[in-house]
Structure 1
């Protein structure tokens, strides 16, 4: 693999960096990825990118993609990580969008893809249920055909940011007599339809990021079915492969390691900078080694996708190692800021710092640590991903 950037790629990086610096909404600078932002704030950068034509760089060009090479997409992610931008949410861009343009009909593509590209339409995911998380084939939410509609009844949980959603994509059981994976359909639902109730689930940091969603006699037009009835498991697996590839977050983790090193230079132990203590230096070095290996795996995956191959079992590898790196990074960051990262009992606000550690380092260190505990579970738990790797790569 050639790791040297060409002159054209270097110029592309300059173009990207300049565009971000000049166009990223000023009110979002320093906001990070806080889940308590308003709908308008979440979508602000997405809408800028939509006007530029850069909101869906991984999509095929005929559906609005940029046509960038895998290296250009890698540079794009690095530059956004450098600026801590709030990227377009994955539910539309990386998840349901590829499902619609791959398996949807022409009417569905025309109805939904423009709003995803522009950032005008917010999507949420209706997969997990109580008792059906990693074992997703056990979903019990039903969709019963009634003339030109499906009548949906059931409960979904962990529907992230559904309080803002215009549309949702739901896995529903349409044939209760079939084998678990064979009786599921993939249905698009207008979240303003009568019978939908979104109830907040408050997290330990006090924010409202996730929800439980109740569907009671929700009538959805049959034309909102993606593909064939009872074939939803195929589309669900396709979507999850795209989701897992995006969870790795290599560029953001690299940025996080830079910050961690800055903290470790400022913090001291018995007068010695933390970065120079053997035990902490070993931990950072091991993290960087694992992150470099993950980065090469991501580059190979991007190159494969650029060659026309969809994400395969390597997406499970990216998911497992990416989330492990993210969790270790937040653990080390919290360890490095020491008592400056201690939260108040309410609001998880940082207690301030007296050692010159800036807000990017100390503020919300505990909040981020707790929030990142979930990464090894969502998108299919890491235990499930190891089973996929064992079956699809090792053939066991």
Structure 2
């Protein structure tokens, strides 16, 4: 494997970097990491940037040209994700680009492809993944939300939780049980659900940092036409599972981690009170930097495997475990080295980096749970990577 990027890839990275710098506020580099995920400014920037990116077809660059992409390599998509995360730029397309679009390309009808894919590629729709439930998180096959056939429609009832971006989504990508009597992996189907349906109720959930990125979504007698079912009935588990790997290269964790370490290094250089602990501080920062470099290499291997036609199944789990646990270590290093000042939050006088380190520490707590717990990922690595029995 060659870890070097081609001149074309480096040119693209620089062009994207300049586009983001042009459209982001001038002081975003200093305060972006402290900006709440649910702030109106961040939402407005997401709308602006997603349209700018869509005009260049960068939002869906790895998609085939016939579906609104550029047929770009997986490595180009990797560079896009890395740069967006490093600058903490909102508007990267989200689950619509990474999961819904690929699923519709693989399993959707020509009519569904005609309706949904252009709206994703043009940043006209925002999608939310309606997967997790109170009793079905990492084990998605345990989903209990029901979709019952009624003539030419399905009637959907259930409760979804930990749904990112539900409050601003126009469409929901729903996994629901259509066969309650069959094996749990074979009784699910996937649906496109309008989020403005009267039967959809959204209840925001506040995280430790006081932000409302996640929500509960209650579905009560929501009716969708049969045309909104994507793929054959009772095959939804395979639709969801086949797209999850492409969400888990993990480069965003490493890119944001790099930004946090760079900010922390700058603060340490300015803080004379840390001079008495100089060696300990240097060693801890060096350890985090080494971990970052390893992480980038782990993440870069995933698009390389995809280029070879290999599904990066357990490799994606390696990156997920390593990246999420590294995120928590970087967050811990930040508040540990900065002391009490590192716990000061946004809007507080004297908060280092505008409160970015306190926010990082609080939000990182869920990194080993979201998108599949570390325990689930380790089981995948053991079984599919090492060949160990269940």
> Could you tell me the TM-score, scaled by structure 1's length?
0.89
Partner of 1:37: 39
Moved more, 284-293 or 386-395: 284-293
Q: Superposition pairs for residues 68-107 of structure 1, below 5 Å? A: 68-107=72-111
| Residue 164 (structure 2) pairs with residue 133 (structure 1) | no
Alpha-carbon deviations, 1:19-72, whole Å to 9, x = none? 333344669664346322234333221111001211123323332233334444
| 8 A contact 1:100–1:226 mirrored in 2 | yes
| 8 A contact 2:249–2:303 mirrored in 1 | no
Alpha-carbon deviations, 1:166-212, whole Å to 9, x = none? 11011111111111111111111111122111112222322221111
Alpha-carbon deviations, 1:114-173, whole Å to 9, x = none? 111121211111111111112221111100000010000111111112111111011111
SS at match of 2:223: strand
- Once the two structures are TM-superposed, the CA of residue 11 in structure 1 deviates from its matched residue by 3.6
- Once the two structures are TM-superposed, the CA of residue 322 in structure 1 deviates from its matched residue by 0.9
| 8 A contact 1:340–1:352 mirrored in 2 | no
Partner of 2:314: 313
Partner of 1:15: 15
- Once the two structures are TM-superposed, the CA of residue 78 in structure 1 deviates from its matched residue by 4.2
Alpha-carbon deviations, 1:191-245, whole Å to 9, x = none? 1122111112222322221111111111111111111111111011123222222
Shift in alpha-carbon separation, 1:281–1:271, aligned structure 2, 3 A: closer
1:240 to 244, 255, 258: 244
SS at match of 2:217: strand
| 8 A contact 2:127–2:173 mirrored in 1 | yes
Partner of 1:387: 379
Q: Superposition pairs for residues 57-76 of structure 1, below 5 Å? A: 57-76=61-80
| 8 A contact 1:57–1:66 mirrored in 2 | yes
| 8 A contact 1:128–1:157 mirrored in 2 | yes
| 8 A contact 1:376–1:382 mirrored in 2 | yes
Shift in alpha-carbon separation, 1:308–1:193, aligned structure 2, 3 A: same
2:349 to 352, 361, 365: 352
SS at match of 1:284: helix
Shift in alpha-carbon separation, 1:248–1:376, aligned structure 2, 3 A: farther
Partner of 1:328: 329
Shift in alpha-carbon separation, 1:121–1:230, aligned structure 2, 3 A: same
| Residue 51 (structure 2) pairs with residue 47 (structure 1) | yes
1:170 to 174, 184, 196: 174
Would you say how many aligned residue pairs link Structure 1 and Structure 2?
384
Gaps of 5+ in 2: none
Measured in 1, the distance between the counterparts of 2:215 and 2:82 equals: 31
Measured in 1, the distance between the counterparts of 2:26 and 2:77 equals: 24
| 8 A contact 2:251–2:296 mirrored in 1 | no
Measured in 2, the distance between the counterparts of 1:248 and 1:296 equals: 13
Moved more, 180-189 or 200-209: 200-209
2:187 to 164, 183, 190: 183
Measured in 2, the distance between the counterparts of 1:10 and 1:167 equals: 35
Shift in alpha-carbon separation, 1:232–1:76, aligned structure 2, 3 A: closer
- Once the two structures are TM-superposed, the CA of residue 2 in structure 1 deviates from its matched residue by 3.1
| 8 A contact 1:341–1:351 mirrored in 2 | no
- Once the two structures are TM-superposed, the CA of residue 266 in structure 1 deviates from its matched residue by 2.1
SS at match of 2:36: coil
| 8 A contact 2:62–2:73 mirrored in 1 | no
| 8 A contact 2:81–2:251 mirrored in 1 | no
Moved more, 263-272 or 319-328: 263-272
Measured in 1, the distance between the counterparts of 2:127 and 2:70 equals: 22
Measured in 2, the distance between the counterparts of 1:173 and 1:235 equals: 13
- Once the two structures are TM-superposed, the CA of residue 250 in structure 1 deviates from its matched residue by 2.2
| 8 A contact 2:3–2:300 mirrored in 1 | no
Alpha-carbon deviations, 1:292-346, whole Å to 9, x = none? 2221122221112233444322111111111111111111112233222334xxx
Alpha-carbon deviations, 1:344-377, whole Å to 9, x = none? xxxx4353228xx5xxx25232222111111110
Shift in alpha-carbon separation, 1:202–1:7, aligned structure 2, 3 A: closer
2:224 to 220, 223, 237: 220
- Once the two structures are TM-superposed, the CA of residue 86 in structure 1 deviates from its matched residue by 1.7
Measured in 2, the distance between the counterparts of 1:215 and 1:331 equals: 38
